[in-house]
Every structure is written in C-alpha cells, then in structure tokens.
C-alpha cells in the first residue's frame, strides 16, 4: 500500500484495521502471537501523527512497568512526540491520581502504600484477639474484596465472604487505615474510582484531559479496575482495550474474564477486531490449543491461523511415572541442543512448582543446564529448608545452624534469650543441643518458653525413636510425612498458602515423595540428606543463560520457545477433579496458554502413576487430551486409555471400608453403564482390593 505511511505498510489487514479504527469504542481480540504490542504502539503513533491527537491526552494502561516502558519506547521510535503520552500501570496511575487528589480521598498527600505485611500488622492492631496467621487470612480476603470493588458496607459482601465476622473486621481495618492517612494496594484502584464518582470537578478535569484511553492485557483486569476505567471514560472519550479472552488465567488473583466478554455491552458502539494471524507457531500447535479452548462456553471466539507453513504434529507421550517423564523431557532437550547448540530452545512447563523436583534431579544427574523461572530451586524454598532442617537435627543433634532454624518454627515461644541459654549449656557439655535443651528448662525465665522448649524436645525425641526402630522395607517418606505434620510445618505453610496464594504445602508433599526411595534408618536419612546436598551443589554452580527453562504454566505469559514440553497432563492434576464450571474453563485457558508458547515443537506428557504424599497413585490421562481430535497428534508409549469415569471415585481419594478399615483409591477403570466404575483400593494393611461401589455399601468415600 504505497499511499500508507511507511510505519503502517507491514501491518496485515486486521492489524491495520485496528490501528486506523476511529469513531466508537474498540475491542481488539488479539490471539496468542498475533502482534498485539505492535498494534497498540502503532495505534498511539497513528492517533498522534495522523489524527492530531495531543499525546498528553492519551492514557495507556497496562499491568507491568516493563510493558509500559516497551509501549512508550516503541511509539516514540515512530514519533518522538509519543513520549509525552501518559503510559502507566493501573497501580502507578492510581498512586499518581491520589497524590494529586489526596484531600478528596481523605489522605495525607505524603501517604505510605502499605504492603501485605503492613496490612497484617495494622489488622492485628485492630483485632488483637486474632493470631498473626489469622490476621493474614483476613487481610487476604480484604484485598480480594477490594479487587471486587466491595467496601465494608457493600450489600454483596456477605454473599462473597460468608464469614460472619468478616464485615466487622474489614470495617475496623478500613477505619484504622483511614485514621493513619495511608493506603494499601487495593486502595490504589478503589479510591480513585470513588473520588471520580463523588467529585464532579475532579471528574470533569480528568474527562477533559484524557480523551483516548487504551488498556493492554484487558483479560487480566479485575472488577475494581473495570470500575476505574468506566469512571475515567468521559462522554466522547475513545476507549480501546486489547486482550485475549482465551488467555485469562489469573482468576485466583481476582482477574475477571467477564470484563472482556461484556465490554461491548458496557461501552456502546463497540467494534470488535480479531487478530487471528499467528506469527509464532506452526498450525499443528495452534490446532491442538484451539481444540481444547473451543470447548469453553465463556468466550467470544476466534480461530488462529499460522503464517508459518509446515511443522511437525504435536506428540503425546504416555509415560509410566514422573521419573520417565523427566527422562523424556531430558531426551527432547538433548536432541534439540545437539541440532542447534542451544539448550535455551527448550522449556518444560508444569502446573505447580512442586513438580520441578523430578526435572531438577534428573537434569542434574545428566549434566543438563537449567534455570527455574519465577521460583527458586526446590531445595532452596523456605518450607523445604524448614523440613530439611528438622531432618538434619534428627540426624545430628549437634547441628547448630539447623537447630536454630527450627527450635521456634512454627512459633513456640522460644526466643533468642532462651536459645542462647540452650547453646551455652551445649557448649559447656558435649555439644548435643537436644540433651542441652532437655536440661535447660529450669533456667528459662518464662513458663511459655519452658513449655515451648519442652514440646520441641519431645517432638524431636519421638521422631528419633521412629527413626532408630528397626523397620525392614519401610520407606523414609513416612518419617518425613510425620516431621512436616507433627512439627506444625504443614499447617503453618498451608495457612501461608491461603494468605499468599502459594503452593508451599504441595512442595512439602513433594519432599515426602522424594524420600520414598530411601530406607527408614539413620543411614537412610543420612543418605537422603547427602543426596540433597549433592543436588544443591550442582544447582549452585553458576547458571548459564544457555539452559533449559523450567517454569510453571502461569509464568509463561508473554514468553515463547522453539520447543515446549507440557507435563503433568493427568486427570486429577491438570485439571483437578474439583475443577468445574468457571474453574474448568480457566484451566482450559491455561492449557491454551501453555501450548501456544511453542513455536516449532509441542510435546504433551501424561503419566500413568505419580507419588502422592509418599504413596504411589494411578492416574488416567487428562480430559484435555481427550478433547483434542486424535488426528492432531502422534502418540508414543502405547494406546491412549479411555477417559476417566465421571463421579466422585478418583485416584488419591481417601476411603473407609467396614471390614478393611481406611485406604486410598489407587486406580479407577470405567465399567458398564449398569455396573458403574471399578475402583481399586490400597488399604493401610497393604492389601489391594477392587470394588464396584454401586453394589457395595461397605465402602465409603471420605473426600
């Protein structure tokens, strides 16, 4: 198109239509790898250069500072005037707004922005009857309430947060926060909306200033951000949002996919432009991803078409267990590196951080360099180091470093003063810290510290007895499970998960699994700790950028790799058995994101069994695999099993039988419509029996 400015000539027709659109509002549905960042930045330049829009009147909002900087730099490269456009993250815009309108928001102009820990501390001051952990849970719910735009007096608050005390605690927290003149992160979105609705003069001033509003990654916006957008958009404003409803995967953080689905209803005269040309992947990869996400009802719909021709079909590897899965990923990475010389071409994706352990161990053994993105290495994670510290003290009661780490974790009231008394007693004797702690009670000043130290000694001594009792063919995993449970670490880190949305408890379960190959004995424990230390030392070697990437699916947004290995595609793991409705649809979107990270090769892995809490459980392939037409992939490792039967009977389910006692479901096979599923149960006695639950009343599901 010779009549077009040079910076527009390389755009495809859909991209060009989005850039040159004017009049009503615009929703750009930008599929994975469709060049959306280029479209946004080019649109800003087009508005400024060709339509005479003042750059100061353009507000562009995204979710990361990196994306905001990239937008500004790209637009300014086309026209330097674009550097004067107002490009911010949602939260930085909110902070800027509140600094300039502090009085209207009831704030000190020099307000402090409280982080999560500050919020917990403030809440603890208003509710001293709660423990700090309990305050953390409440603070997390308050943050989520603000994501939904709900104030303490909101009528809908009780429906979303049914705890009868939550409204009062939230109100007390808000009152105290306002008294301090400070804000938390939720306020950076909530308060500007409130001010804009309440103060006509301020609203008019902002409506006059920002005539063009663009929002990137709109599928990740929450309700409060949606309300802020509506408050900022004055009459005659041009609103353009860019996003992909198929990549909305942060519901657990408050993201609301309905924001993008309902945008045309909320903003009148909206035109939808679909960017469906994919510049990243081969068509075979796009077809696999599209087949799964197309099952979702909550989507606007689009079909990605690859610009690149050719490409191999996706591969489905049916593997025996997590060790074979790690070996398969290693072979794929080695084959790619042998052809290109680049380890970094390959990425291994998994659902939870805990799954990285098998890959770390196997890659270390084979000398494959790797890097973990968005997380620390397994054995360096806080919760794992806590459990290992307990095990180290069991193995060697003279281990001062690890004794210091766990004697008061979780909190038992053993402070620094009490600890120093124990250490001095140990130094004066044979260095055995456990013996010193046993005799130090009378020297401690408070009943709380004496009780806390006594409970710690009893715990460790009880665990040492288990370790030292001859137990032929017993696995060390049982002891590790007792350590994380009896110490309180499991409960402590499960509470932290609830507060922070992390997966620490799952990592502790994975540590239990890691001990399954070692015998229950002092020698077995020493060998286990030695193996871990060797893994650590290998991991501590200087990381090269030229390495295989190990990464969770959630952390892959915005990334791409020539070769992608998607692991853990078992029913019960991905998706979970309790994923239904909106949760299931989000998990389909997560699969779509994972698959579309691949440029050239896509590998899907499903294991027949995995260790769960030190016990092996059987799995069937993920329902997502069965949602892909068989002609779209090649199968390695045998024939694809039938789908998992519908209903409550799943591998890993705890059960009770009137005659055989407690047990766990290890396998479920589809039966006939008349019989229902055939369920295999391993009881605590070690006995494995099979049942048709439809015909027995003695078997009860406990989950």
**Cα-to-chain-centroid distance, residue 385:** 21
Q: What is the DSSP string of 266-282?
A: HSSS-EEEEE-EESSS-
Dihedral in degrees, nearest 10, Cα atoms 528, 353, 636, 333: -80
Contact 598, 348 (CB under 8 A): no
d(CA 224, CA 164): 24
Asked if 411 and 590 count as a contact pair (C-beta separation under 8 A), the reply is no
Three-state secondary-structure class, residue 57: helix
Separation of alpha carbons 488 and 477, rounded Å? 17
Query: Quick check: is 597 catalytic?
Result: yes
The secondary structure of residue 570, as a DSSP letter, is B
Main-chain dihedrals φ then ψ at residue 226, nearest 5 degrees: -65, -40
SS3 for 492? Answer: helix
C-alpha 450: how far from its chain's center? 40
Q: What is the DSSP letter of 240?
A: E
Given the residues 15, 247, 549, 587, the one annotated as active site: 247
Rg (CA), the chain: 29
Strand pairing report for 277-278 and 305-306: parallel
Identified catalytic residue from 79, 174, 184, 217: 217
Residues 6+ apart with CB under 8 A from 384: 378, 507, 508, 511
Among 597, 608, 613, 615, which one carries the catalytic annotation? Answer: 597
Identify whether 36 is a catalytic site residue. yes
Q: Is residue 571 annotated as part of the catalytic site, yes or no?
A: no
Q: Which of 147, 184, 187, 216 is catalytic?
A: 216
Rounded CA-CA distance 559/594 in Å is 10
Token look-up 């409970």 returns 455
Backbone angles phi, psi at 470, to 5 degrees: -55, 130
- Residue 476, judged by CB atoms within 10 A of its CB (0-12, 13-18, 19+), counts as buried
- Are 56 and 299 within 8 A, CB to CB? no
Q: DSSP assignment, residue 167? A: H
CA-CA-CA-CA dihedral for 682, 683, 687, 690, to nearest 10: -50
Q: End-to-end CA distance of the chain, in Å?
A: 64
Say how far apart CA 543 and CA 370 lie, in whole Å: 8
For residue 190, give both structure tokens. Answer: 């909530």
Residue the block writes with tokens 């805990």? 354
Q: Give the residue among 325, 367, 349 at the shortest CA–CA distance from 544.
A: 367
Concerning whether 175 is annotated as a catalytic residue, the answer is no
- The answer to whether residue 247 is catalytic is yes
CA distance 255 to 267: 19
Tell me which long-range contacts 308-313 makes (C-beta under 8 A, separation of at least 24).
308/279, 308/281, 308/282, 308/283, 310/282, 311/281, 311/282, 311/283, 311/284, 311/285, 311/600, 312/282, 312/284, 312/600, 312/601, 313/284, 313/632, 313/633, 313/634
The yes-or-no answer on residue 474 being catalytic is: no
Catalytic residues: 36-37, 216-217, 247, 597
């Amino acid at each position: 198109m010779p009549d077009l400015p040079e910076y527009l000539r390389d755009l495809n027709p859909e991209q060009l239509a989005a850039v040159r659109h004017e009049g009503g509002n615009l929703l750009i549905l930008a599929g994975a790898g469709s060049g959306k960042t280029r479209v946004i930045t080019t649109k800003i330049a087009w508005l400024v250069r060709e339509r005479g829009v003042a750059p100061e009147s353009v507000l562009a909002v995204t979710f990361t500072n990196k994306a905001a900087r990239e937008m500004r730099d790209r637009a300014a490269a086309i026209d330097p005037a674009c550097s004067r456009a107002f490009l911010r993250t949602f939260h930085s815009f909110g902070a800027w707004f509140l600094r300039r309108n502090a009085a209207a928001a009831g704030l000190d102009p020099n307000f402090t922005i409280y982080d999560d820990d500050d919020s917990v501390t403030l809440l603890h001051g208003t509710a001293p009857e709660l423990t700090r952990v309990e305050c953390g849970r409440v603070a997390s719910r308050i943050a989520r309430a603000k994501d939904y735009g709900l104030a303490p007096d909101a009528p809908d608050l009780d429906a979303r947060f049914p705890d009868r005390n939550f409204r009062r605690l939230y109100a007390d927290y808000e009152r105290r926060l306002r008294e301090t003149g400070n804000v938390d992160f939720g306020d950076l979105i909530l308060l500007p909306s409130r001010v804009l609705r309440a103060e006509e003069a301020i609203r008019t001033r902002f409506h006059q200033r920002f005539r063009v509003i663009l929002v990137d990654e709109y599928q990740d916006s929450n309700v409060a951000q949606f309300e802020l957008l509506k408050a900022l958009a004055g009459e005659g404003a041009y609103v353009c949002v860019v996003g992909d409803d198929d990549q909305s995967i942060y519901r657990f953080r408050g993201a609301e996919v309905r924001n993008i689905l309902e945008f045309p209803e909320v903003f009148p005269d909206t035109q939808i432009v679909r960017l469906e040309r994919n510049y990243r992947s081969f068509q075979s990869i796009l077809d696999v991803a599209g087949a799964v996400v197309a099952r979702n009802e909550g989507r606007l719909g689009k079909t990605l078409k690859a610009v690149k021709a050719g490409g191999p079909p996706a591969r489905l590897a049916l593997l025996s267990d997590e060790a074979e899965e790690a070996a398969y990923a290693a072979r794929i990475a080695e084959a790619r590196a042998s052809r290109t010389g680049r380890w970094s071409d390959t990425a291994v994706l998994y659902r939870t951080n805990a799954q990285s352990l098998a890959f770390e161990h196997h890659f270390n053994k084979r000398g494959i360099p790797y890097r973990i993105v968005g997380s620390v290495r397994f054995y360096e994670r806080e919760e794992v180091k806590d459990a290992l510290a307990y095990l180290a003290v069991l193995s060697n009661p003279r281990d001062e470093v690890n004794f210091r780490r766990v004697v008061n974790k979780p909190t038992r009231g053993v402070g620094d003063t009490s600890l120093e008394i124990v250490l001095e007693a140990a130094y004066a004797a044979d260095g055995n810290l456990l013996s010193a702690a046993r005799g130090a009670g009378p020297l401690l000043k408070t009943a709380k510290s004496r009780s806390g130290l006594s409970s710690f000694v009893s715990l460790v001594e009880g665990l040492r007895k288990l370790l030292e009792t001859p137990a032929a063919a017993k696995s060390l995993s049982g002891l590790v499970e007792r350590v994380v449970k009896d110490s309180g670490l499991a409960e402590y880190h499960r509470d932290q998960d609830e507060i922070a949305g992390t997966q620490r408890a799952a990592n502790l379960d994975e540590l239990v699994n890691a001990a399954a190959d070692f015998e229950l004995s002092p020698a077995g424990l020493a060998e286990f700790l030695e193996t871990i230390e060797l893994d650590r030392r290998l991991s501590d070697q200087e990381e090269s950028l030229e390495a295989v990437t190990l990464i969770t699916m959630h952390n892959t947004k915005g990334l791409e790799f020539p070769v992608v290995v998607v692991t853990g595609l078992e029913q019960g793991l991905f998706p979970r058995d309790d994923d239904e409705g909106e949760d299931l649809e989000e998990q389909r979107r997560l699969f779509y994101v994972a698959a579309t990270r691949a440029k050239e090769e896509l590998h899907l892995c499903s294991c027949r069994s995995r260790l769960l809490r030190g016990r092996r459980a059987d799995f069937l392939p993920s329902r997502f695999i069965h949602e892909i037409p068989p002609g779209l992939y090649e199968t390695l490792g045998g024939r694809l099993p039938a789908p998992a039967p519908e209903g409550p009977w799943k591998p890993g389910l705890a059960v009770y039988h009137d005659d055989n006692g407690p047990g766990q479901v290890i396998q479920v096979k589809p039966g006939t419509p008349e019989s229902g599923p055939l369920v295999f149960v391993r009881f605590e006695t070690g006995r494995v029996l099979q049942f048709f639950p439809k015909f027995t009343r003695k078997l009860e599901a406990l989950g």
